[in-house]
Amino acid sequence: MTTFGNLFLTAFVAVLVICPSFALSPFVIHESTVWETGLGEISAYRTPILINTPGGLLAFCGARKYSKSDTGAKVVTMRRSLDGGLTWKPTVFLVDDFDAPNGLNIGVVIVDTKTNLMILTFSFCVHNLCPEHIPRNYLMRSSDWGYSWTEPEDFAQNNPYFQAWPYGFGPGYGIIKQYPPNVGRMFACGHTVDRDKFKTQSMNCLYSDDMGKTWTIGASIYSVPYGMEKKSRDLIAGEPQPVELPDGSITVNIRNSYGYHCNCRLIAKSFDGGVSFPWQNITLDEELIEPGCQGSLLVHNKVMYFSNPNSNAGRLNMTVKYSFDYGENWVGSVQIYPNVSEYSCLSPIDDNNIGVLYEKDGYHKMGFAKIRLNP
């Protein structure tokens, strides 16, 4: 081969490495409805969580019994798929708060395949409508990928700080750190539920170095101005989703609840294992527009994916975007559902497929879409 030919081949290979879009052509190959109201005693199936485990693909949600409201009685439901989301086993009810005036809210699911451990968290009474007015957080464990669960354990039992703390994890998933620093650390994020017009709400990430027995409050973002009633464009960091990058850093994609600076997502990065977010690492991503809604983030085979209602006009147009440089640039997208759609959760299925579980049609359905990454 001539010298020119060698140079051309080298340059072409370099382009492939820098711009792997030559090898990614995502498209939806399967859609189904996992839950639908009107088929039982549930008013709305909300707050989706989708997790892939050695025991199958698991869909969770916080089903609301009597209304679509954040308050009121709820039950945590789960369905299992053993064929990558093509079919689903019957619904299993995991936690029921019966007729609580301000019941439970599903939090996060954390999976550790090295120890065969899965953790589910949920909060109770965070909106101050319970008779005793004491908010609580609970944790359940499974060692057989969701076929059986331990009884709920109160976070405050081993962590007194969590006594009466109005905090809710997620909704979404937590992570186990795979890269230094702090390999094996459990890390999950959520936010406090401010009872006085968002005066002191904060987004807080918690971590555990003993497999969920004890927890420490780590990286946090407090509302600005703190202690004052919020106005449009003030800073309120809402529902977050963390992921770990190959360099060991943690990126958290966060709901920008009051449209601080723009109707787009807040991004926070930690380089110390989730202990802190330096202010210079808290930014906004104007490519990720939002109507003020939860979104999901996923890193799969060195590609970052983001799902949310891709609109400033309202909660509609569920879309999955993808990035080859971990969110610095978003180079493509797949439209999942053009109409009304709300919360979502992304999960890997296998090397060539990911899934998204999402609310649609005004919380009337919980839809599932399977996305093939390459033909």
What is the rounded distance in angstroms from the CA atom of residue 230 to the CA atom of residue 245?
A: 33
**Architecture of the domain spanning 27-372:** 6 Propeller (2.120)
Structure tokens at 199: 């005066």
Residue 280 is given by DSSP the state: G
70 belongs to the catalytic site? yes
**Mean pLDDT across the stretch 156-165?**
91
What residues contact residue 7 under an 8 Å CB cut-off, 6+ apart? none
Which of these, 309, 255, 317, lies nearest to 284 by C-alpha position? 255
SS3 227: coil
CB atoms within 10 A of CB 150: 12
The DSSP annotation for 32-75 comes to EEEEETTSSS-SEEEEEEEEEETTEEEEEEEEESS-SSSSB-EE
pLDDT band at 69 (very low <50, low <70, confident <90, very high): confident
Interior/surface letters 197-210, b for 16+ CB within 10 angstroms, e for the rest: ebeebbbbbbbbee
**Mean pLDDT across the stretch 194-218?**
92
What residues contact residue 357 under an 8 Å CB cut-off, 6+ apart? 34, 48, 49, 50, 59, 61, 344, 345, 347, 366, 367, 368
**Mean pLDDT across the stretch 27-39?**
94
**Mean pLDDT across the stretch 57-77?**
92
Q: What is the mean pLDDT of the chain?
A: 92
Which of these, 212, 42, 56, 84, lies nearest to 141 by C-alpha position? 212
SS3 21: helix
**Mean pLDDT across the stretch 84-96?**
97
pLDDT reading at 128 higher than 70: no
Please tell me the predicted confidence (pLDDT) of residue 101: 79
CB atoms within 10 A of CB 25: 12
Residue 311: phi and psi, rounded to 5, are -165, 150
What residues contact residue 14 under an 8 Å CB cut-off, 6+ apart? none
pLDDT band at 99 (very low <50, low <70, confident <90, very high): confident
Q: Which of 138, 167, 260, 343 is catalytic?
A: 343
Annotated domain spans of the chain: 27-372
CB atoms within 10 A of CB 189: 30
Task: Enumerate the β-bridge partners of residue 358.
Answer: 344, 367
What is the rounded distance in angstroms from the CA atom of residue 43 to the CA atom of residue 338?
A: 23
pLDDT in tens, 181-191: 999 999 999 99
Strand pairing report for 172-173 and 104-112 = parallel
Q: Which of 36, 70, 112, 194 is catalytic?
A: 70
pLDDT band at 72 (very low <50, low <70, confident <90, very high): confident
Residue 155: phi and psi, rounded to 5, are -55, -40
Strand pairing report for 153-154 and 175-176 = unpaired
Helix ranges (H only) for the chain are 3-18
Please tell me the predicted confidence (pLDDT) of residue 317: 98
Tokens 């997208």, located at residue: 333
Residue 155 is given by DSSP the state: G
Angle at CA 90, nearest 5°, toward 84 and 92?
A: 105
pLDDT reading at 213 higher than 60: yes
pLDDT reading at 37 higher than 50: yes
The DSSP annotation for 168-186 comes to EE-SEE-EE--SSSSTT-E
Structure tokens at 348: 């890997």
Q: Which of 45, 322, 359, 363 is catalytic?
A: 359
Return the sign of the alpha-carbon dihedral for residues 220, 268, 265, 22: negative
Kindly report the length of the chain: 375
Structure tokens at 87: 């079919």
Please tell me the predicted confidence (pLDDT) of residue 195: 67
Please tell me the predicted confidence (pLDDT) of residue 125: 87
Please tell me the predicted confidence (pLDDT) of residue 10: 39
343 belongs to the catalytic site? yes
Please tell me the predicted confidence (pLDDT) of residue 13: 38
pLDDT reading at 272 higher than 70: yes
pLDDT in tens, 284-328: 999 999 999 999 999 999 999 999 999 999 999 999 999 999 999
